Structure 1
Amino acid sequence: MTATAEAPLAATNPDWWRGGIIYQIYPRSFQDTTGDGIGDLPGITERIPYVASLGVDAIWISPFFTSPMKDFGYDVSDYCDVDPMFGTLEDFAHLVATAHRHGVRVMIDLVLSHSSDQHPWFVESRSSLSNGKSDWYVWADPKPDGTPPNNWLSIFGGTAWQWDARRLQYYLHNFLISQPDLNFHNLEVQDALLDVTRFWLDLGVDGFRLDTINFYFADADLRDNPALPPEHRNATIAPSVNPYNHQDHMFSKNQPENLLFLRRFRELLDEYGACAVGEVGDAQRGMELLGEYTRDGQGVQMCYAFDFLAAEPLTAARIVDVFHRLDREAPDGWACWAFSNHDVTRHVTRWGLSHAGARAYATLICCLRGSVCLYQGEELGLPEADVAFEDLQDPYGIQFWPEFKGRDGCRTPMVWEPSNRNGGFSDVRPWLPVSSDHLGHSVALQEDRDDAILHHYRAVISMRTTSLALRRGEQDGIEARGNLLTFTRVADGERIFCAFNLGESEVALTLPEGSWNLVEGIGATMPGAGGMTLGPWEYAILRAA
């Protein structure tokens, strides 16, 4: 059988992404339909009605391509097929058709910077110095003493170079040894990856999440990265125990040639009316790159920002600082914000949020200017799962245990109902254990509780999607006064004033001049004489009358 194409839903409204809400699905952990303990594409299809009920615009599906799964699909061995553990191309076509019938767009995760070492391209490339794909990956001779060609480091720890005994050269791997980096300086490589992109566009996808978008090009001269002063180090991209944080990665990524490739990529997107969000993995230049990569329709439409994925608490002052830096370094850029994803500790645990705090942040992300990514289970208020060392699957966690436990705690299976130890995810032991703490947060239990956070997410998503000001309006006057965060969103005559108390003490609030009506609020009542009080973790969303 051949998968049949489905017309992209995005083409009916190419600007849907501007302020849109995207729901990230980690396919291994969403729904198992085959009884092997691993989620699959038919499982996603089965749950599309639930996703649609949230009111989101699109889903982003993490990699499901053919892979040896050394990094759980982010090591691709065939870009144009589905790994058998997830299903078939026909299953994917059915998923796209089902999502489109429910008004949900489909975005998929493209991993273009590197492939698996089992990809036929790399197998051929490493076979000799003179084969047709010998220059498709980043190869380099050793230094005279046999050591790697430069000081570049891998995000997964240690040198970013691996010796190959067949070619008597090193190859570059910014991630696992089994993930060699493609050589984007070779136009044949670019053409092949654009062909991959067209393949999925022809199957009806509405867009892409581009993994590690700033890693596509390495410096052609392979110059050493300079040291990073200790005061400039942070753990936004790699954990603090990783020496990766000791370098300014000036030459191993973030190269200016990236913009030339992204223009070619954008031309292809525009041909289909599709969109893309690029993941910018850089702790020092992330905001600047966001601006470069989304400027003037020459790159991707939006970039996935890491600023709200950090471990440090998301205070009112830090939010103001992020938006001031955005205005300064990327005034024409468009960010896609997330609090949780498949790579970081879930934010309820990361920031130690109470039930009221989780609700306040859910409302906040739906009020900020930019697009939004929600991670599966976030709408259930799931905390980070505690995964025992003997159950770990993530090579990152195994490498740095116990100082860094890896990413398995945020990747455990979705909990659909509480009647068995696997939460309705699978009939057998899952690839990662279901946390017993998660069963009380299951979809089935929350559907029956009027005060559940699941219903709160639905309400604030609806609030955003029905307000032009919140979805794509300008954001003015963002200020922090202690734990009080305030700002205004404006579009086409609609004016929304947002106030959040992100702390444990009561705060007094003076409203801007004018008459206001309450749109959404917890503990908020309409004021007299232009003022109101917000208790701990309370907020008020007001519309000008």
Structure 2
Amino acid sequence: MSTNGKTTDWWKGGVIYQIYPRSFQDTTGDGVGDLAGVAQRMPYVASLGVDAVWISPFFTSPMKDYGYDVSNYREIDPLFGTMDDFDWLISSAHEQGLKVIIDLVLSHTSDKHPWFAESRANRDNPKADWYVWADPKPDGTVPNNWLSIFGGSAWQWDARREQYYLHNFLSSQPDLNFHNPAVQDALLEVVQFWLDKGVDGFRLDTINFYFHDKQLRDNPPLPPELRKSDTAPAVNPYNHQSHRFDKSQPENLAFLERMSSLLLPAGAAVVGEIGDSERGLELLEEYTGVSGRVQMSYVFDFLSGEDLKAERVAEVFRVMQEIAPNSWPCWAMSNHDVVRHISRWNLSDQAAKAYATLLLCLRGSVCLYQGEELGLPEAELSFEDLRDPYGIEFWPEFKGRDGCRTPMVWDMGVNGGFSTAKPWLPVPHTHLQRTVVAQEADAQSLLHHYRWAIGLRRKHSALRGGTMTDIRADGPLLSFTRADDQQTLRIRANLSEDQIGDLGPWQVQVIEG
């Protein structure tokens, strides 16, 4: 399918490689990765056989949440380079046959954004209603019981307006008021700006957080037995509420449809991030199962701490077939927000190969996170090395996200070839044993296995876009069928270190016919 000469379904069954630019490649010697470094390394990414790259935020920001607090949506933060560097990144990717997806954080801005500076000045300026403001209760306390994912109340007092403003994350990340049409229009102009710059799609951060309940009703409590730690760590009281009113509101659907009307003519696609432990698959159906909203979205089923056993995979797909039969998920085992899956599930290289093959045989699209193909474990950092406000707040019970954000290791040079200067996060010694150069030289390495598994997916149309049926779990043995009008494949995966029948330990078999 194509529009104006552009293929519009390139995303379906595609493999997307996530790049955290701060930790990918430093070209300026300041210890921080940059866009020029991403452009420079694009041939390596293309060599993996992936379809697209997802670039985490690089916009102007005070970096209180490392780029997820945007102060200017249309500028490159000098830390990451210039707009010319971004143009080089786009051309470099396209020359390698790769699509470029950029991370847009629309639910909130930095408190340093000019929009917020104007909004907080008084109650009657043109942008007074661009953020979520509310009067205190008669006793001066917060408007309701909503909580921030980063801990404590989701409301912050502002003396200028003598009102509270909503922040679902840090207090320096005020939430935009999507009930105001002018806010929607301004954000859609941002979308159009980057489409005009040549991007092929967007990863939409916290896609279900855009709208809040206009009545500001309290969230009901969630019984302990129903609490999950998919969206927030177990030690966070955020998990004690059923988030019925502070996010995942029905008005969101109309906005997504407005955005889709911009994307379709450009052949662009969206990966949404649904952060909702209770209604994740239900929202996946609402957002991706209806044409004209979002093409794909990833949920947190395989990003949680729960071991990914055969029974777990089968159950996820059983429930998805029941609740979200028309949806299109984007599966991931690691990303920039969770403990790397090699450590989370304590995987050997042999086991990691089996899980990589399994991931690339599932129905849906796939996101891989930089360093995953090298089998990088979670970095063990001291409290003094932490940069992540999330980890600093909940240390030591929750160590934050820095352990999965340490620099990429390219070779045995200084700092793994990432930077000639002291990196913004330390390069673990254990990572230096798993560099790209070392694994390129080893035909049995995890890196070469990822290339093979991605190639397997590209080779078989049934793995990219076919159905997935007859899913069974018999102990550690998982089996299912992938089929389209060209071929039928039977996949059998032994997710254990024991021999099971004719399948050796951690062996995945793909049988045609």
- How many angstroms apart in 2 are the aligned matches of 1:168 and 1:131? 15
Contact kept in structure 2, 1:10 and 1:16, CA below 8 Å: no
- How many angstroms apart in 1 are the aligned matches of 2:304 and 2:134? 35
Say if 2:186 is the partner of 1:192.
Answer: yes
2:316 alignment counterpart? 322
- How many angstroms apart in 1 are the aligned matches of 2:177 and 2:300? 26
Go from structure 1 to structure 2 and tell me whether the alpha carbon gap of 1:86 and 1:136 turns closer, same or farther (over 3 Å shift): same
Say if 2:444 is the partner of 1:475.
Answer: no
The one of 18, 23, 33 aligned to 2:27: 33
Report the secondary structure of 2:259's partner residue: helix
TM-score (normalizing by structure 2) = 0.99
Say if 2:436 is the partner of 1:443.
Answer: yes
One-letter code aligned to 2:320:
L
Q: What are the Cα deviations for residues 226-257 of structure 1, in whole angstroms up to 9, with x where unaligned?
A: 00000000111100000000000000001000
1:130 alignment counterpart? 124
Contact kept in structure 2, 1:348 and 1:383, CA below 8 Å: yes
Say if 2:469 is the partner of 1:534.
Answer: no
- How many angstroms apart in 2 are the aligned matches of 1:198 and 1:220? 28
- How many angstroms apart in 2 are the aligned matches of 1:497 and 1:471? 14
Q: How big is the shift at 1:298?
A: 2.4
Q: What are the Cα deviations for residues 79-111 of structure 1, in whole angstroms up to 9, with x where unaligned?
A: 001000001111101110110010000000000
Contact kept in structure 2, 1:381 and 1:441, CA below 8 Å: yes
The one of 228, 247, 251 aligned to 1:253: 247
One-letter code aligned to 2:505:
P
1:385 alignment counterpart? 379
2:221 alignment counterpart? 227
Contact kept in structure 2, 1:10 and 1:274, CA below 8 Å: no
For 1:515-526, list aligned pairs within 5 A: none
The one of 82, 93, 96 aligned to 2:87: 93
Q: How big is the shift at 1:9?
A: 11
One-letter code aligned to 1:369:
R
Q: How big is the shift at 1:16?
A: 0.8
The one of 325, 329, 350 aligned to 1:335: 329
- How many angstroms apart in 1 are the aligned matches of 2:135 and 2:378? 44
- How many angstroms apart in 2 are the aligned matches of 1:124 and 1:199? 23
One-letter code aligned to 2:348:
S
For 1:263-282, list aligned pairs within 5 A: 263-282=257-276
The one of 70, 81, 103 aligned to 1:109: 103
2:452 alignment counterpart? 459
Contact kept in structure 1, 2:3 and 2:264, CA below 8 Å: no
Go from structure 1 to structure 2 and tell me whether the alpha carbon gap of 1:217 and 1:172 turns closer, same or farther (over 3 Å shift): same
Report the secondary structure of 2:183's partner residue: helix
- How many angstroms apart in 2 are the aligned matches of 1:10 and 1:281? 34
Q: What are the Cα deviations for residues 359-398 of structure 1, in whole angstroms up to 9, with x where unaligned?
A: 0001001000000000000000111011111000000000
- How many angstroms apart in 2 are the aligned matches of 1:11 and 1:415? 38
Unaligned runs of 5+ in 2: none
1:349 alignment counterpart? 343
The one of 471, 477, 491 aligned to 1:484: 477
- How many angstroms apart in 1 are the aligned matches of 2:346 and 2:117? 47
Report the secondary structure of 2:416's partner residue: coil
1:22 alignment counterpart? 16
One-letter code aligned to 1:135:
D
Report the secondary structure of 2:509's partner residue: strand
The one of 281, 292, 299 aligned to 2:286: 292
- How many angstroms apart in 1 are the aligned matches of 2:131 and 2:5? 34
Q: How big is the shift at 1:295?
A: 2.3
1:513 alignment counterpart? none
Report the secondary structure of 2:482's partner residue: strand
Q: How big is the shift at 1:11?
A: 5.8
Contact kept in structure 2, 1:10 and 1:105, CA below 8 Å: no
One-letter code aligned to 2:231:
I
Go from structure 1 to structure 2 and tell me whether the alpha carbon gap of 1:176 and 1:9 turns closer, same or farther (over 3 Å shift): farther
Go from structure 1 to structure 2 and tell me whether the alpha carbon gap of 1:10 and 1:495 turns closer, same or farther (over 3 Å shift): farther
Go from structure 1 to structure 2 and tell me whether the alpha carbon gap of 1:438 and 1:278 turns closer, same or farther (over 3 Å shift): same
Q: CA RMSD in A?
A: 1.1
- How many angstroms apart in 2 are the aligned matches of 1:289 and 1:318? 20
The one of 381, 394, 398 aligned to 2:388: 394
Report the secondary structure of 1:251's partner residue: coil
The one of 407, 414, 417 aligned to 1:413: 407
The one of 160, 168, 172 aligned to 2:166: 172
Go from structure 1 to structure 2 and tell me whether the alpha carbon gap of 1:317 and 1:501 turns closer, same or farther (over 3 Å shift): same
The alignment-based identity, stated in percent, is: 64
Report the secondary structure of 2:350's partner residue: helix
- How many angstroms apart in 1 are the aligned matches of 2:82 and 2:177? 29
Report the secondary structure of 1:209's partner residue: strand
Say if 2:365 is the partner of 1:371.
Answer: yes
One-letter code aligned to 1:90:
D
Report the secondary structure of 1:487's partner residue: strand
- How many angstroms apart in 1 are the aligned matches of 2:29 and 2:470? 53
Q: How big is the shift at 1:42?
A: 0.2
Report the secondary structure of 1:444's partner residue: helix
Q: How big is the shift at 1:304?
A: 1.1
Contact kept in structure 1, 2:4 and 2:265, CA below 8 Å: no
Contact kept in structure 1, 2:461 and 2:486, CA below 8 Å: no
1:3 alignment counterpart? none
- How many angstroms apart in 1 are the aligned matches of 2:142 and 2:237? 17
1:155 alignment counterpart? 149
- How many angstroms apart in 2 are the aligned matches of 1:325 and 1:103? 36
Report the secondary structure of 1:440's partner residue: helix
- How many angstroms apart in 1 are the aligned matches of 2:210 and 2:222? 22
- How many angstroms apart in 1 are the aligned matches of 2:316 and 2:391? 29
- How many angstroms apart in 1 are the aligned matches of 2:205 and 2:21? 16
- How many angstroms apart in 2 are the aligned matches of 1:338 and 1:106? 18
Report the secondary structure of 1:507's partner residue: coil
Go from structure 1 to structure 2 and tell me whether the alpha carbon gap of 1:58 and 1:207 turns closer, same or farther (over 3 Å shift): same
Report the secondary structure of 1:22's partner residue: strand
Q: How big is the shift at 1:22?
A: 0.1
Q: What are the Cα deviations for residues 185-240 of structure 1, in whole angstroms up to 9, with x where unaligned?
A: 00000000000000000000000000000000000000000000000001111000
TM-score (normalizing by structure 1) = 0.93
Q: How big is the shift at 1:419?
A: 2.8
Q: How big is the shift at 1:506?
A: 1.9
- How many angstroms apart in 2 are the aligned matches of 1:191 and 1:539? 49
Aligned length: 512
Contact kept in structure 2, 1:140 and 1:169, CA below 8 Å: yes
